[in-house]
Structure 1
Amino acid sequence: MADTTARPRTGAAGDRTGLRNMQQLLQLRWIAVTGQLVTILVVHFGIGIGLPLGPMLAVLVALAAFNLGSQIWWRRRPRVSERALLIGLLVDVASLTAQLYLSGGITNPFVFLFVLQVALGTMLLRPSSSWIIAAATTACVLALGLLPTPVQIRMSASSGLANHYLQGLLICFLLVASLLVVFIGRIARILRDRDARLAQLRQRAAEEDHIVRMGLLASGAAHELGTPLSTLSVILGDWRHEPLIRDDVGLIREVLDMQAQVERCKSIVTRILLVAGETRGEAPEETTLAAFLDELADQWRTLHPASGFEYRRLFHGDRRIVADTGLQQMVWNVLDNALEVSPGSILFEADCRDGSLVIDVCDDGPGFAPAVLESLGAPYNSTKGRPGGGLGLFLSANVARSLGGRLSVTNRLPGGACVRMALPLASIAIEEMDDGR
C-alpha cells in the first residue's frame, strides 16, 4: 500500500538538481502504484482478507492519474516551487491514508509507511514545509486510530511468522528500509553534485575577483610606469643627437638598443592597460582567423627569438572574426611558458574542427608535475619556485572560459607537454563561412 513519492527541496528550482530529483520521484510514484495494486490483489485473493476493492482501486486510479498529470506538467516546466512540492507530498499522504483506512486503519502494518513520508519530507523540503508534513501524518495516524474502518486485522503475533500481521510488518520494514537506502542514496548523490557545482561556481567567482584585483593593480602600476618610460624615451632621443654619442659607433648602438627596450616596455604597458580596459582609441578589431593567427605568431616570434619555434596553421579556408588583445594574450601566455622550459623546441599549431578553434602549444620541457595538473588553472599553481609563478596559465584558462571554451594540459612521452586551448568559433566569428577543407 506504499506511496513513496516526495519532491526535491529547491527554492530556485530551475536548476538541473530539481529536475533530476523530480524524475526520480515520478519514477518512485509509478513503483508505488504498481506495489499497491499487487498488494491489494494478493491480500484479497491470495490471503483471503476481504477488502473493498472498488474504493481502493478508485484511490489507486486517482493516484496514477495525478502522477501522469504531474509527469506531463513538469516536462514543460523548468521551475519547481516550494508550494508545488508541499502539495505533492500532501497528496501522497492523503492517498496513503485513504488506502490504510479502507484496509484496516491503525491495525494495518503498512501504517509505518508514514515514517517514510516524514523522512523524505525532512530531507527534500524546507523545515517549515517538513513540519507541515509531520503534522499531517500525525493527524492521519490519529484519525486512523479513532475512526472505525471497514476491515479489522488481528494484531496478535502469538502464531509467529504464520501471522498475517507480522508478515505485513516485516514486509513494511523491508520496504521502508530498501526505499530509504535506494531513494535517499540517489537524492544524496544529486545534492552532492549540486554542492560540488556550487563550490565550483564559488571558486570561479573567487578567481574572477582575483583577476579584477590583479587588473586594478596592473593598471595602477602601468600608469605609474608610463611617465618614467616616456621620460627615458625622450632622454634617449636627445642622446642620439649628441655629438659625442652620435660619432661613437659603440655608444650609438647601445643607445639604439636601449631605445628598443624602452619601446618594448611601453608596448607591454599598453597591453596591460588594454587588458584592463583602460586604453583609448583601441577596440576589438574585425579581421580574419588566418590573418589573426599568422600575425600573432609573427609578432611573438619577433619579440621572443626562439631557435626552435614552429608555427602550423592546418586549416585552409578562412572566416571573419572579432579579435582583441585578451585572445592574443591568452596564446602568448602559453607560448611564454613554453619558451621558459623549452627554448629550443616550441610547436604552435592551430586548426578548426567540430565548430571549434583548437590551438595546441607543445614543448620538449620536463612537463607538468602531477600537483599542477590536479589544480590546473588555479592562481600561483606553479613549480617554477618564484613569486607570481603560475599566473600565465591562470589568466589563459579564464580567458578561454569567458569565451565558452576550455584549456587543458597533457604531458608527452618521453618528455614535454602540450597545452590545448579550444574555443567555440561562434564566440569569435562574425559569420560562418566554408573553411575549404
Structure 2
Amino acid sequence: MSRTEISFLRTLSSLRWLAIGGQAATIFIASGPLGVDLPLAMLWSGVATLVLFNLYAGWRLRTGDEPSHATAFLHMLVDIVVLAWMVAWSGGISNPFGLLFLVLIALAAMALPNRWAYATAGAGVIGYAAAAIFGHPLHAPGDAYELLLWGIAASFLISVSVILIFSTRLAADLRNRERELADLRERFARNEGIVALATHAASMAHELNTPLATMTLLADEIAAQADTDDLRADTEMLTELLALCRERVRNLAVPTEVELERVVEQWKLVRPTVEMHRTGVLPRGLRVEPSVAHLLQALLNNAADAGVQAGAPYVDLHLECKGGMVRGVVRDYGRGLNPDQPLLPATLFRSGKPGGLGVGLALSHATVERLGGDMTMTAAEGGGVRIQFQLPVETTVTS
C-alpha cells in the first residue's frame, strides 16, 4: 500500500474526530436549546463507539503493519454503520444528515480502487436504506419544517468542509507522488548513462594500458639521458604522472582499495597550481573502495576548476573518519551557485562549467546514493560553494 493510501487513513481519522465533535455538538444543541426529544442513550453510545474505534485506528496506524485496501474499506464500513445508527435514532429518512452517506462514498471514490469504492457505495446505500426503514421519527416542538431546513444547511456546510479538506490533502499527496516519480525517472536515466560510461571506461582502460607502458619506458630513457637539473626534474614529474595514470587505469580494470591520504597527495601532484588548505585528521593507512576516492577527486577537481575560473585557485578540504563514517567538506572560491543550474541530485552530461562534461557531480551524487550516504551543496560565506558529504565505509587500516 502506498503512502497515498496511508495518508488517506490518517486523513480519515482526522475527519472522524471532526465528525465526533460535530455529532456531540448537534446532540447538545438539539436536546437543549431546540428542545428535540432524542434517545440520548442510543446516540451517545454511537458517539462513544466512534471515539473508541478512532483511538484504536490511530494506534494501529502508529504501531501496526502497513494497512491494505481491505483495511481502508473496513474503516469506511465502521463509519457507515455508526452513521446509519445515528441517523436511524434521530429521524431516519427525515434526518437531513443522511446526506453525509454521500460524503463517505465520495471519499472512497477519490482514494480507493474501483472495487472497494463500489463496495463502499453499496454499503452506504444499504446503511441509508436501513436508517430510512427502521428509523425512529423525531418529536420536535414548533415548526418541524424550519428545523429540517436548518439541518439541511448544516449538512451542506459539513459536506463542503469535509470534501474540501480531504480533496486538498489528497491532491497534495498526488503532487508529492508525481515529484517523486519524476525524480526516480531522472535518477534512472542518469544511472543508465553512468553504466554506459563505466562500460566505456573499462574498455578504454585496456586500450590505454599499452601506450602508457610505452610512454613510461620512453620517460625512463629520457631521464637516463637528462644532462640538466631542470630536465631531470621534468622527467621525474612525468614519470610520477605516468605511474599515477597507470594506477588509475589498473583500478578501472580491477578495482582495489586505495589509501585515502594518498588520493589527496596524488591530487596535489596532478593540480600543482591550486593551493589546498587542509583540516581534519584521518587514521593512518586508511583504505577505502575506489568509488570513495573517485568521489573525492571529482569534488576537488570541480572546486579547483571553479576557483581557477574566478581567479582564486584555492580549495579548502576537511576530512575525518569517526564511527565508521568518512565526513568531508570541499569548499571552492569560485563565483558561487548558479541560480539557473539545478542543485543536487545532479544530472549526467549537464554542466554549468564552460567546456565541462557534466560527469563529475553526477558521478559524485550517484556514489553517495549507492553507498547510503548523503551530500549537500550550500553557498559558502564570502563566495564560492561548500559541498559536505558523509559516507559509511568499511575501513581498512594498513601500517
Superposition TM-score, scaled by structure 1 size: 0.77
The 1:177/1:321 distance shift into structure 2, 3 A limit, reads farther
The 1:321/1:308 distance shift into structure 2, 3 A limit, reads closer
Stretch moving more, 27-36 or 126-135:
27-36
Stretch moving more, 207-216 or 120-129:
207-216
- Residue 372 of structure 2 corresponds to residue 372 of structure 1: no
- Contact 2:343–2:377, Cα closer than 8 Å, also in 1: no
One of 340, 354, 359 as aligned partner of 2:305: 340
One of 237, 241, 250 as aligned partner of 1:270: 250
Q: 1:397 & 1:230 partners in 2: Cα distance?
A: 33
State the SS of the aligned residue for 1:47: coil
Alignment correspondent of 1:434 = none
- Contact 2:37–2:139, Cα closer than 8 Å, also in 1: no
Q: What is the Cα deviation at residue 75 of structure 1? A: 2.7
Q: Could you report, residue by residue, the CA deviation over 1:178-207 in whole angstroms, capped at 9, with x for unpaired residues?
A: 121123222322333333334333333332
Alignment correspondent of 1:9 = none
Alignment correspondent of 1:410 = 378
The 1:364/1:123 distance shift into structure 2, 3 A limit, reads same
Alignment correspondent of 1:240 = 221
- Contact 2:194–2:348, Cα closer than 8 Å, also in 1: no
Aligned sequence identity (%): 26
Q: What is the Cα deviation at residue 163 of structure 1? A: 0.5
Q: 2:214 & 2:139 partners in 1: Cα distance?
A: 100
Q: 2:331 & 2:184 partners in 1: Cα distance?
A: 30
State the SS of the aligned residue for 1:163: helix
Q: What is the Cα deviation at residue 171 of structure 1? A: 0.7
- Contact 1:407–1:419, Cα closer than 8 Å, also in 2: no
- Contact 1:321–1:428, Cα closer than 8 Å, also in 2: no
Q: 2:100 & 2:225 partners in 1: Cα distance?
A: 102
Alignment correspondent of 1:48 = 35
- Residue 257 of structure 2 corresponds to residue 284 of structure 1: yes
Q: 2:377 & 2:295 partners in 1: Cα distance?
A: 14
Alignment correspondent of 2:329 = 360
1:37 alignment partner AA: A
- Residue 172 of structure 2 corresponds to residue 151 of structure 1: no
- Cα RMSD (Å): 3.4
- Contact 2:320–2:327, Cα closer than 8 Å, also in 1: yes
Q: 1:153 & 1:134 partners in 2: Cα distance?
A: 31
Alignment correspondent of 1:325 = 290
Q: 2:388 & 2:287 partners in 1: Cα distance?
A: 17
Q: 1:270 & 1:192 partners in 2: Cα distance?
A: 47
Question: Where does the alignment leave 5 or more consecutive residues of structure 2 unmatched?
Answer: none
The 1:349/1:25 distance shift into structure 2, 3 A limit, reads same
Q: 2:323 & 2:162 partners in 1: Cα distance?
A: 44
The 1:64/1:361 distance shift into structure 2, 3 A limit, reads closer
Question: Where does the alignment leave 5 or more consecutive residues of structure 1 unmatched?
Answer: 1-11, 274-278, 286-291, 432-437
- Residue 150 of structure 2 corresponds to residue 197 of structure 1: no
**Residues 23-422 of structure 1 aligned to structure 2 (within 5 Å):** 23-145=10-132, 147=133, 149-152=135-138, 163-233=146-216, 236=218, 240=221, 249=227, 262-273=242-253, 279=254, 283-284=256-257, 292-313=259-280, 315=281, 318=283, 323-343=288-308, 344-351=313-320, 357-374=326-343, 377-386=346-355, 389-412=357-380, 414-415=382-383, 417-422=384-389
The 1:367/1:70 distance shift into structure 2, 3 A limit, reads closer
Q: 2:71 & 2:27 partners in 1: Cα distance?
A: 29
Q: What is the Cα deviation at residue 373 of structure 1? A: 4.6
- Contact 1:400–1:421, Cα closer than 8 Å, also in 2: no
- Contact 1:358–1:422, Cα closer than 8 Å, also in 2: yes
Q: Could you report, residue by residue, the CA deviation over 1:325-349 in whole angstroms, capped at 9, with x for unpaired residues?
A: 1111111111112222334322222
